[in-house]
Amino acid sequence: MIYRPVPARLPVPAGLGRLLVLITVFVCAACGLVYELELVALASYLIGDSVTQASVVLSVMVFAMGVGSLLAKRLRRRAALGFAAVEALLALVGGLSAMALYACFAWYGRAWPALVVFSLVIGVLIGAEVPLLMTLIQRVRRQDAGGAVADLFAADYVGALVGGLAFPFLLLPMLGQLTGALVTGAINAVAGGALVLAVFRGDLSARARRTVTAANALVLALLALCSALTGPFERAARHAVYGGDVRVAVRTELQEIVLTGGGRGGRPLALFLNGRLRAAGESSRYQEALVRPATAGPHRRVLVLGGGDGLAVREVLRRPGVAAVTVVEPDAAVVRLARTDPGLRRLNGDAYTDPRVAVAHADPFAWLRRAAADEAPFDVEVCDLPGPDGPGGAKLYSQEFYGLAARRLAPGGRLVVHAGRVSGNAHDFWTVDATLRSVGLTTEAYRAGAAGEEWGFLLAGRAEEDAPGRGAERGGGPPPAGLPEASAVGARSVVRPPGAAEPPSTLMRPRYDE
C-alpha cells in the first residue's frame, strides 16, 4: 500500500511553511556533518591513524544512514511526531558523543568500540531525517517527487557545506571539541522541536505536544549541564590519563599539550603531546641517542625538524663547534611553553635563549620545499618527529619529504630519524629505512631505551663526494660512522633482517600500518 501524505492545516502560509522545512533541512545537515567530523577528529587524536578512523566512521555512518532511511518508513504516518523524536534523540546522542568517546578512552583505555557504536547510532538517526522531512514538505504543499527531492537535497548539501566549514574554522577554535559538540546538539534540538511545534503542531495531540516540549527541554537541560561541566570533566579525564599532577593542559589547533609533575616531592616533569610522552624527568637518554651519532661528524650548521620542546636543541648546543641551529616547529604553543615554563626551561637548559638558535613556525615539509637552493646546506638534520604512525606521519616520513631533506644536506652531512619502535612495529621501521635509502642516503639502524621505553633510530648519511640532488639511484656504500658516540646511553646497532627491503613510502602510496 502506497502512503500518500495528506496536506496539513498549517498555522502559517504554505510558502513560509515550506521555507521553514528547508531551513530545518539545512540546519540538520550542518549538525549531522559536525557530528561526523567530531568523531573523526577525536578518534584520530585518541586512537591515531586518521585514515583508518575516517574510513571507519564514514563507512559505518553511510551504511547506518541507509538503515535509518528504511526504518523511517514506519514513521511516515506520524511524521511530525517521528521527526521530533528523531531530532531530540540525535541532539542528545550527537551532542554527548565527543564527551562519551573521551570518557571511554580516559577511564577504560579503549575508544574503538564507542566509536563504532556512536557512528552507527548517529548514522541511523541522520538517515531517518530525509524520509520524514520529505513527508512533511509534502504535507505543506503537494508537488512532484522529483522537485521535492531536488529542494531537500539542495538544502541538505548546502547545510553540509556550512557545517563542514564551521567545524574547523569556528567550532574547534572557539569552543573546542567537547563544547562544540554540545552546542551543535542544542542547535539540532531547537531546530527540530521548533519546526514541529510551530508548523506542524496541528498534527499532534495536546499530549504529544507536551511530550515533545518536555523531551526537548530535557535534552537542552542535559546538554547545558554537560557544557557547564566540561571543565571539571576534562580535568578528571586528564587525571585519569596522566595522573593527578597535571600542571599545564593546552589544546592548540594542532595538538594537545600536557605538562605533569615537576613539583617538589612529586613526580618528575613529563611532557605529553597528543597523549604521547615526549620528555620525562631529568633524563636525556632519548635526545642523546638521537643527536650524538648525527653530530659525531661535521656539525657547524644544524637543522632540527620538530622538537619544539627544546630538548634536542639543548643536546645539539652541548656539542662544541655548533655555529647555528634552525628549529622548524609547526606549533608555536610548544615553543612558547618551552621558553616560559620554569620546569621545561630547566629541562631544556634555556636552549631558546641561545643566540645561535633561530625558530621557524611552519610545517617541516612546506618549509623544506620553500627553502632557497642558494642557502647554505646543513651539516646535520635532526628529525625529532612523533613517528610514522603519529600526526602527519605519512607525509613527514615519505620519500618526497626525505628527498627535500637530502637536498638541503651538505656533502658528508648526516640525517637522523626517530622511526618508532624496532620490535613493536618492525614493518614501519624498515619502511622508513627503505624510504631513506630510496633518496640516495646510506643508513644505519640502532635502538636505545630507558625506563622500559625503547626507541628506534635511523642514521642516514651522504658520502663526501656526493653533491646535493645526486645519488638518488644509489643508496649503497658504507653506513655513516658515529654510533659509538651514543654507546654511553645504551644505543645498540640493529641488523637489517633478511627480507626487510620494504618498498619506500610515498605521498601517493603510504605504506605505514599496512
Binding residue ranges:
255, 309, 329, 391
Q: Are 289 and 448 a contacting pair, CB within 8 Å?
A: yes
Q: Output the CA–CA distances (angstroms, integers) from residue 211 to 135, 230, 284, 479, in the order listed.
A: 21, 28, 62, 75
Residue 18 DSSP code: H
Q: Which three cell numbers stand for residue 30?
A: 550542518
Binding residues for spermidine: 309
Choose, from 384, 428, 433, 466, the residue flagged as catalytic: 384
DSSP string, 399-458: HHHHHHHHHTEEEEEEEEEE---TTT-HHHHHHHHHHHHTTT-EEEEEEEEETTEEEEEE
Is 384 a residue of the active site? yes
Q: What share of the chain is helix, strand, coil (3-state, %, to 5)?
A: 55, 15, 30
Q: Which residues line the annotated binding site for S-methyl-5'-thioadenosine?
A: 255, 329, 391
Q: Nearest-5° angle of CA 233, CA 58, CA 35?
A: 35
Q: DSSP secondary structure string, 56-90? A: HHHHHHHHHHHHHHHHGGGGGGGHHHHHHHHHHHH
Exposure string over 209-244, b if 16+ CB within 10 A, otherwise e: bebbeebbeebbebbeebbeebeebbeebbeebbee
The set of catalytic residues is 384
